[in-house]
């Protein structure tokens, strides 16, 4: 009875547990469903957030773009209000230069226009230059001198340069050099830009004509002295830098003489000696090419004239703040309102401008060392002319680095054999010596390979043992006879295997030494051929070591 009750109770508990389990499963399913829905909601929120941020960014850029457009209009209006006449003066100056070339405008018209602009642009340096040019055209010396004095007072550097370039166009060489000297006197040797280097290159290469009074000669030396005074170790650093530059020409001779590299003990000396001679040959060729190259005078003259037009059209310092704002706002527009990108672009431009402005020595060094082919030859000729003392001292230092004598003879080392050569014609004797060396080593290896028990003796002992076993069997000593016969058979078989192994080893040794002989003989031949070529090259180029300089 009690058992039935317990069974019924247990059955009820089991059923309850089953129902509870089902409910738990249903709850788990609902929880999974809710989790999935939560994940989807979270994903939707992330997308919504991303879309919202994108929309906000687009609105921000649109707002920035709109503001930049409005500010650009304002900046340009302010430029026009403050400096509008500057642009008129520039255009008029360019027009007069072109008109005088073509002789298409009356002198009276030029004078009238220039004087009106002088009145309407009271503080701009180019206005009195314009008056001076008009007075010059009209042979009014007094007015020209007064106008020039005023232009120089307003901006000595730019006025002097414009007058120098105008005089050059009109073939007034003596007057041109007076103005060019005045312009050079305003230059800071520590901050020479690429435009200034064009005028220096033009002067050095004779584009301004002959400097008969030597008005500009001293400025080059003065500029270098100015750089030297700011760096007490300038000379030593220049010499070291040129020596280091020349070391970049040094090439590994191993690719030209691979056999010497692989088997000749003295190759290190050969490599240093010939590597230096080849480097000197390349360096000498480079500087000789620079010095012998013809400058395209017409191209350089055209470039100087373009710089004159660029100078006339350049901004005045008073305009630069507004011009910088205009440049930044244009970058913002180009970047569709992306301020960070616009700033990066403007900063990169400023960095590039600063990079192109350096001391005059660095400008010239960069011109000589540029191997891209993009640097005009006249720039290299200018640099070589003024830097030749440092170039030659650096060359001498490079030439004396790691001085190594070319060996009189070489030592070949191949597979433990050594032999020497002086003239490179000892091939037959060296190959015989190498062959004798290998033959001796081969004999020793063959003797070692065949040493130990003699295979024939072992086979004979085996046969005797077999015969003894047979005798024992005939005497009806079965067990001893069988044992003795087995031993005899083993001895016979071992003797045969030993003989086979000995023959195989001998064949392998013969083949290996035949290969060593063939390869070694070939290496000897190649090494001697390359040694003769190296000796010939050393003899041919030896005179380069006597060079005092290359520039």
If 0-12 CB within 10 Å is exposed, 13-18 middle and 19+ buried, where does residue 107 land? middle
> Is the separation of the CB atoms in 208 and 168 below 8 Å?
yes
Residues near 367 by Cβ (< 8 Å), separated by ≥ 6?
Answer: 375, 379, 380, 382, 383
Give the separation between CA 433 and CA 517, rounded to whole angstroms.
11
Residue 6 binned pLDDT confidence (cut-offs 50, 70, 90): very low
Assign 3-class secondary structure to 358-418.
Answer: ECHHHHHHHHHHCCCCCCCHHHHHHHHHHHHHHHHHHHHHHHHCCCCCCCCCEEEEECCEE
pLDDT value, residue 2: 46
Give mean pLDDT, residues 451-471.
57
Strand partners, 264: 412
Give the separation between CA 312 and CA 310, rounded to whole angstroms.
5
With 90 as the cut, is the pLDDT of residue 531 above it? yes
Mean of the per-residue pLDDT values of the chain: 83
Smallest Cα–Cα separation from 133: which of 101, 157, 173, 155? 101
Give the separation between CA 75 and CA 524, rounded to whole angstroms.
82
Lowest mean pLDDT among 8-12, 205-209, 291-295, 350-354: 8-12
Give mean pLDDT, residues 129-142.
88
Residues near 506 by Cβ (< 8 Å), separated by ≥ 6?
Answer: 446, 449, 450
Q: Please give the full DSSP string across 270-311, using - where no structure is assigned.
A: HHHHHHHHHHHHHHHHHHHHHHHPPP-HHHHHHHHHHHHHHH
pLDDT value, residue 5: 47
Smallest Cα–Cα separation from 159: which of 89, 206, 226, 109? 89
Lookup: tokens for 129: 């230059």
pLDDT tens digits, 39-63 = 777 776 777 777 766 677 777 878 8
pLDDT value, residue 511: 85
With 70 as the cut, is the pLDDT of residue 322 above it? yes
Residue with the bigger pLDDT between 28 and 360: it is 360
> Is the separation of the CB atoms in 550 and 380 below 8 Å?
no
Report CA dihedral (519, 524, 529, 535) to the nearest 10 degrees: 140
With 90 as the cut, is the pLDDT of residue 333 above it? no
With 60 as the cut, is the pLDDT of residue 514 above it? yes
With 80 as the cut, is the pLDDT of residue 523 above it? yes
Lookup: tokens for 513: 């030494």
> Is the separation of the CB atoms in 272 and 534 below 8 Å?
no
pLDDT value, residue 224: 85
> Is the separation of the CB atoms in 235 and 228 below 8 Å?
yes
Residue 447 binned pLDDT confidence (cut-offs 50, 70, 90): confident
Residue 453 binned pLDDT confidence (cut-offs 50, 70, 90): very low
| DSSP assignment letter at 319 | G
Q: CA neighbours within 13 Å on the CB side: how many for 160?
A: 18
Lowest mean pLDDT among 65-69, 431-435, 491-495: 491-495
Strand partners, 417: 414
> Is the separation of the CB atoms in 391 and 242 below 8 Å?
yes
> Is the separation of the CB atoms in 503 and 455 below 8 Å?
no
Neighbour tally for 491: CB within 10 Å: 20
Going 155 to 159 to 161 to 164, the CA torsion angle's sign is negative
Give the separation between CA 321 and CA 328, rounded to whole angstroms.
11
Residue 314 binned pLDDT confidence (cut-offs 50, 70, 90): confident
Give the separation between CA 137 and CA 99, rounded to whole angstroms.
11
Return phi, psi of residue 257, to 5°.
Answer: -130, 65
pLDDT tens digits, 88-113 = 998 988 888 887 766 667 778 878 88
What are the contacts of 103-111 at 24+ separation with CB within 8 A?
A: 107/134, 107/137, 107/138, 108/138, 110/134, 110/137, 110/138, 111/135, 111/137, 111/138
Give the separation between CA 394 and CA 384, rounded to whole angstroms.
13
pLDDT tens digits, 263-300 = 999 999 999 999 999 999 999 999 999 999 888 888 88
Residue 220 binned pLDDT confidence (cut-offs 50, 70, 90): confident
Percent of the chain with pLDDT over 70: 80
Smallest Cα–Cα separation from 539: which of 280, 274, 275? 274
- Secondary structure of residue 150 in the 3-state scheme: helix
Is pTM beyond 0.75? Reply is no
pLDDT value, residue 452: 47
| DSSP assignment letter at 421 | E
List helix spans (H) across 475-549. 478-541
The dihedral region occupied by 338, where left means phi > 0, alpha psi between -120 and 50, and beta the remainder, is beta
Find tokens 């006449």 and name the residue.
85
């Amino acid at each position: 009875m009690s058992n039935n009750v317990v069974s019924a109770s247990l059955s009820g508990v089991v059923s309850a547990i089953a129902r509870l389990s089902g409910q738990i499963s249903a709850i788990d399913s609902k929880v999974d469903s809710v989790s999935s829905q939560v994940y989807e909601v979270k994903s939707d929120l992330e997308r919504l957030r991303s879309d919202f941020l994108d929309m906000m960014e687009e609105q921000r850029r649109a707002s920035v773009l709109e503001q930049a457009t409005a500010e650009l209009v304002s900046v340009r209006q302010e430029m026009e209000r403050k400096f509008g006449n500057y642009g008129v003066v520039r255009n008029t100056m360019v027009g007069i230069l072109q008109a005088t070339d073509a002789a298409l405008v009356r002198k009276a018209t030029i004078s009238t226009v220039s004087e009106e602009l002088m009145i309407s642009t009271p503080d701009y340096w180019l206005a009195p230059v314009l008056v001076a040019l008009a007075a010059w055209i009209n042979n009014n010396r007094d007015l020209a001198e007064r106008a020039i004095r005023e232009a120089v007072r307003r901006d000595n550097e730019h006025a002097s340069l414009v007058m120098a370039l105008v005089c050059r166009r009109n073939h007034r060489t003596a007057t041109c050099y007076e103005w060019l000297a005045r312009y050079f006197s305003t230059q800071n040797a520590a901050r020479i830009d690429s435009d200034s280097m064009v005028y220096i290159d033009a002067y050095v290469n004779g584009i301004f004509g002959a400097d008969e009074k030597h008005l500009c000669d001293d400025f080059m030396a003065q500029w270098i002295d100015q750089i030297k005074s700011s760096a007490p170790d300038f000379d030593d650093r220049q010499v070291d830098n040129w020596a280091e530059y020349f070391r970049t020409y040094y090439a590994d001779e191993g690719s030209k003489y691979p056999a010497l590299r692989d088997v000749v003990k003295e190759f290190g000396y050969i490599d240093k000696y010939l590597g230096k001679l080849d480097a000197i040959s390349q360096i000498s060729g480079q500087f000789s090419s620079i010095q012998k190259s013809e400058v395209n005078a017409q191209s350089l003259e055209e470039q100087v004239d373009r710089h004159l037009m660029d100078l006339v059209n350049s901004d005045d310092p008073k305009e630069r703040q507004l011009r910088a704002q205009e440049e930044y706002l244009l970058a913002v527009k180009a970047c569709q309102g992306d301020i960070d990108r616009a700033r990066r672009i403007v900063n990169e431009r400023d960095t590039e401008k600063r990079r192109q402005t350096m001391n005059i020595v660095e400008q010239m060094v960069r011109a000589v060392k540029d191997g891209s082919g993009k640097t005009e030859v006249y720039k290299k000729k200018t640099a070589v002319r003024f830097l030749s003392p440092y170039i030659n001292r650096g060359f001498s230092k490079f030439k004396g680095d790691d001085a190594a004598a070319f060996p009189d003879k070489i030592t070949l080392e191949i597979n433990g054999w050594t032999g020497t050569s002086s003239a490179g014609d000892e091939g037959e004797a060296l190959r015989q010596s190498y062959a004798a060396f290998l033959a001796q080593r081969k004999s020793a290896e063959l003797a070692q390979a065949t040493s130990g028990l003699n295979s024939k003796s072992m086979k004979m002992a085996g046969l005797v043992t077999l015969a003894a076993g047979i005798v024992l069997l005939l005497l009806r000593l079965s067990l001893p006879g069988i044992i003795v016969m087995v031993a005899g058979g083993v001895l016979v078989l071992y003797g045969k295997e030993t003989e086979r192994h000995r023959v195989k080893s001998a064949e392998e040794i013969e083949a290996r030494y035949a290969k060593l002989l063939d390869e070694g003989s070939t290496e000897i031949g190649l090494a001697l051929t390359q040694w003769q070529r190296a000796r010939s090259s050393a003899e041919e180029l030896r005179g380069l070591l006597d060079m005092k300089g290359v520039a």
